[in-house]
Amino acid sequence: MKIIMLGAPGAGKGTQAKKIADKYQIPHISTGDIFRANIKEGTELGKKAKTFMDAGKLVPDELTIDLLMDRISRPDCANGYVLDGFPRTIPQAESLEAALEKRGEKIDYAINVEVPDENIIHRMSGRRACLNCGATYHVVHIPTKVEGICDRCGSELVLRDDDKPETVKKRLDVYHEQTQPLIEFYSQRGVLVNVDGTRDMEVVFADIVEILGA
C-alpha cells in the first residue's frame, strides 16, 4: 500500500500519516527524515545533500528522488509506505512516477486532507509553545490550566513566528501555487481520495481507514 499525503500546511496530514503508519505497520516517510538519516550515517547521497543544505540551498529534485528510492528499497517498505511532504510540485510528482515505473510500481492512494484556509489560520494561530521544555498547546483545543503558562514546567508560552496569521497566510499562498496542482495530477491518475479534515482527527482517520480497508 503506497500512499501519498496531500493537504495544506496545518491541515493535519502529518498526524494522519503517523496514524496510518501505525495501523498498517508501514513506514511514515518524510524527506527531512531521509536527509537527516543519510547525513548522520555519512552515506554518499547524504554527503551530497549536506553540501546543498549547508549552503542554505534546496536539495535538488533528482537527488531527493535518489534518496527516496534508496529509502523505499529497504525491507521495512516491502508492504508499502506513507509519503508525507513529498512530492510538493508537479515536476517532483512526475520524477517520482518515472522512478517508481522503473521498479514496476506506482502510488496506490493520494489522500488529500481538505481544510479551508480560514480554518487553518485559526487553528495554527491558536497554537502556543513552551520554548523551555518543548510542550505545545492550543488556546481552544489543548488549553493550559493557567492561561499563557506551561503546565509542565511553568514557563511562559509563546506564539511562534511560524504560527502567526501573516506567516501562515504566506505558506498557504505558496501551497496553492506550487502544491495544490498535485490534486489534479493524482485525480487524473485515478488515485486521489478526499477527506474532510475539519472534523475531529479520529473521525478523519476513520474515513481514511474505510477508504484503505481494515
Alpha helices in the chain (DSSP H): 13-24, 31-41, 44-54, 61-72, 90-102, 117-125, 165-174, 181-188, 201-212
Decide: 129 and 136 in contact? Cβ < 8 Å. Answer: yes
Is 74 a residue of the active site?
no
Q: Which is catalytic among the residues 19, 123, 127, 128?
A: 127
Decide: 82 and 5 in contact? Cβ < 8 Å. Answer: yes
Decide: 137 and 127 in contact? Cβ < 8 Å. Answer: yes
d(CA 206, CA 211) in angstroms, rounded, equals: 9
Question: What does DSSP assign to residue 161?
Answer: G
Return the bridge partners of 130, or none. 157
Q: Which is catalytic among the residues 13, 71, 123, 128?
A: 13
Is 128 a residue of the active site?
no
Q: Which is catalytic among the residues 48, 50, 160, 164?
A: 160
d(CA 25, CA 176) in angstroms, rounded, equals: 32
Q: Which is catalytic among the residues 36, 48, 50, 88?
A: 88
Is 199 a residue of the active site?
no
Q: How far apart are the first and last CA of the chain?
A: 12
**What are the Cα distances from residue 127, in Å, to 33, 114, 158, 163?**
24, 20, 9, 7
Decide: 9 and 173 in contact? Cβ < 8 Å. Answer: no
Catalytic residues: 13, 88, 127, 160, 171
